[in-house]
C-alpha cells in the first residue's frame, strides 16, 4: 500500500524550486493545489502540473478552485469567464440544471487540458439573506431542493469530464455571517434546522469521492470548529453517511487558532483524512508534514476509492456544448 503524505499542498510560484522538488519527493503529499500565483500561460501550467507529479513519481491529483464568478483561478484566454453561480442559476431559471451541467462539463475539459484533474466544487451551502457576502453568490440556491439539483448537475459535469469533484463546505456554511478566512463563524441554529436543510444537502451526496470541511462552530453540537471536532466528524461519517475522503478547508485560514502544525494535527485527530495547505509557504509546510505524517490505513482506502473515480474523459466538442448553452439561453422566455 502506497504511503501518501496526509496533505494537499500548494507551491510558491510559476515553477518549482529545488527545495520544493526535494520536499515534495520526500513528503509525497496526496495531491497539490494551484492558485493565481501559479498561473501565467497554458504551456506554463501544463509544465508545472507535469513537474509536480514528477516530484512524487505518480499521477497525483491536482486541485484548483474553478467555481466561476469571483472564485476562479483560471481566466481568459486559458478558460472562459462565468457569472457567479447564484446569478447563473437565476439567469437560466427552470433550465438551470442543464445549464449548470454544461457549464461544469466545459470547465472540466478546460482543466483537464492543463493537467488539472480535481476541482473544489460543487458547493452545497444553502444561501440565506444573511449569508456572508464572501460566500453568498457562490452558492447554487436558496432552498435545499435547488441546491441538491444544481449540485448533482455540477458533480456529474465534472465526473463526465474526468475531473474529481469535491463537495464543500461539509456539513454546511450557508448560515455563516462571518468570513472564515478571517474570523470564526458560530452557528446558533438548532439541530432540527441544520438537519433539515444544511446537513441534508450533504447527506444527498454521500456517494461522492471527496469532501471539504467547514471551519465553523455549530454551537448545538460542539464548541470546536467542525474541522477539528471529533463529534462533527463522527456526525459527517455516521449521520450524513459520507464515506469519501475528507479534506480540511485551507488550514491557514484564520478561523482556526494555534500554529499551522497544531491545526493540522487537531484536524487529523478529529477524523479528517487530509490537511489542505494552500499558500505554498515552505516554513509552514515542512513542520506541518512532520506533524501530520501519512494517511491512516482507512484513509489510504478512501484515497484509492477517490482515485478510482477519476475516469478517462471521452473526447468532447466544446463548441457543441457552448452551442447547447446558447440554445437554452435563447429559448428562455423573457421574465
Active site residues: 181, 249
Contact 218, 187 (CB under 8 A): yes
Q: Rounded CA gap, 25 and 110, in Å?
A: 28
Three-state secondary structure call for residue 274:
strand
d(CA 37, CA 166): 22
CA–CA dist 30, 8 (Å, integer): 6
- Answer yes or no: are the C-beta atoms of 218 and 232 closer than 8 Å: yes
Neighbours of 86 (CB within 10 A): 21
Q: For residue 215, give the C-alpha cell.
A: 471551519
**Cell numbers for 101:** 451541467
Instruction: Tell me whether the omega of the peptide bond preceding residue 169 falls within 30 degrees of 0, making it cis.
Output: yes
Question: Contact at 8 Å (CB) between 20 and 29?
Answer: no
| Angle (CA) 255 193 165, round 5° | 60
Place of cell 467547514: 214
Residue 20 CB-half CA count within 13 A:
18
- CA-based nearest residue to 215, from 245, 246, 260, 172: 172
Q: DSSP code of 256?
A: S
- Lateral strand order in the sheet of 210-213: 167-170, 210-213, 245-247
Calpha distance 17→92 (Å, rounded)? 45
Amino acid at each position: 500500500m502506497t504511503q501518501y503524505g496526509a496533505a494537499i499542498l500548494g507551491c510558491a510560484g510559476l515553477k518549482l524550486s529545488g527545495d520544493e522538488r526535494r520536499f515534495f519527493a520526500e513528503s509525497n503529499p496526496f495531491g497539490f493545489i494551484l492558485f493565481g500565483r501559479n498561473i501565467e500561460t497554458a504551456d506554463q501550467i501544463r509544465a508545472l502540473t507535469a513537474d509536480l507529479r514528477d516530484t512524487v513519481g505518480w499521477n497525483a491529483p491536482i486541485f484548483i478552485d474553478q467555481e466561476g464568478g469571483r472564485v476562479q483561478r483560471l481566466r481568459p484566454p486559458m478558460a472562459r469567464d462565468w457569472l457567479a453561480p447564484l446569478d447563473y442559476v437565476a439567469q437560466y431559471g427552470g433550465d438551470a440544471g442543464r445549464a449548470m451541467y454544461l457549464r461544469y462539463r466545459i470547465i472540466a475539459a478546460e482543466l483537464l487540458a492543463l493537467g488539472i484533474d480535481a476541482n473544489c466544487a460543487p458547493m452545497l451551502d444553502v444561501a440565506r439573506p444573511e449569508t456572508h457576502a464572501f460566500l453568498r453568490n457562490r452558492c447554487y440556491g436558496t432552498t435545499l431542493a435547488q441546491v441538491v439539483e444544481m449540485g448533482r448537475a455540477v458533480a456529474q459535469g465534472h465526473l463526465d469530464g474526468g475531473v474529481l469533484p469535491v463537495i464543500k463546505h461539509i456539513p454546511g456554511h450557508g448560515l455563516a455571517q462571518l468570513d472564515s478566512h478571517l474570523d470564526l463563524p458560530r452557528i446558533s441554529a438548532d439541530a432540527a434546522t441544520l438537519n433539515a436543510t444544511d446537513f441534508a444537502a450533504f447527506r444527498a451526496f454521500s456517494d461522492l469521492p471527496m469532501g471539504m470541511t467547514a471551519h465553523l462552530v455549530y454551537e448545538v453540537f460542539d464548541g470546536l470548529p467542525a474541522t477539528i471536532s471529533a463529534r462533527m466528524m463522527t456526525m459527517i461519517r455516521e449521520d450524513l453517511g459520507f464515506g469519501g475522503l475528507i479534506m480540511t478547508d485551507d488550514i491557514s485560514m484564520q478561523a482556526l487558532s494555534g500554529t499551522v502544525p497544531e491545526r493540522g494535527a487537531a484536524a487529523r485527530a478529529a477524523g479528517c483524512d487530509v490537511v489542505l495547505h494552500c499558500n505554498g509557504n515552505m516554513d509552514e509546510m515542512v513542520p506541518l508534514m512532520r506533524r501530520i505524517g501519512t494517511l491512516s490505513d482507512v484513509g489510504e482506502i478512501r484515497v484509492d476509492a477517490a482515485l478510482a473515480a477519476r475516469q478517462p474523459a471521452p473526447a468532447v466538442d466544446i463548441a457543441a456544448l457552448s452551442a447547447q448553452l446558447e440554445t437554452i439561453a435563447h429559448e428562455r422566455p423573457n421574465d
